[in-house]
Amino acid sequence: MKIYFSVLVSVLLIVSSADAQIFKTNLNVIVRDELGNTVEGVTVKLYETADNYKSEKNPVAEGITDAKGVVKFKDQKAIAYFVLARKGDKDNAGGGEQTGKLEEKKLNKVTIVIQ
């Protein structure tokens, strides 16, 4: 019985440490237009500071939305990000420019509206 318990504890420790290392802090950004439709082909940039966001310099991550209006950012810091979403003459300036603090080792989701 002691051997079985020791093996079980060892397996649980390995699984929990592997799980902690496997799942990172991720962010999915969903982009919608003023009518609520998702928008494909939007360039989305993440910035750590307001100054970088305002000057549009030094993005920490960048991606383009897929057919469902989603761009996925993997392995991010658990902080609040400034988000710039732009396609043509539409962007999210004036609203929805910052995420809340991301939850560590979770899939975080935000919706951005461009107009």
Report the chain's mean pLDDT, rounded to a whole number: 87
Domains assigned to the chain: 25-113 (2.60.40.1120)
Tokens 């560590």 belong to residue: 104
Q: Say yes or no to pLDDT of 1 above 60.
A: no
pTM of the predicted structure, to 2 decimals: 0.80
Distance CA 64, CA 110 (A): 15
3-state secondary structure of 108: strand
3-state secondary structure of 43: strand
Contacts of 89 (CB under 8 A, 6+ apart): none
What digits encode the pLDDT tens for the residues 43-63?
999 999 999 999 999 999 999
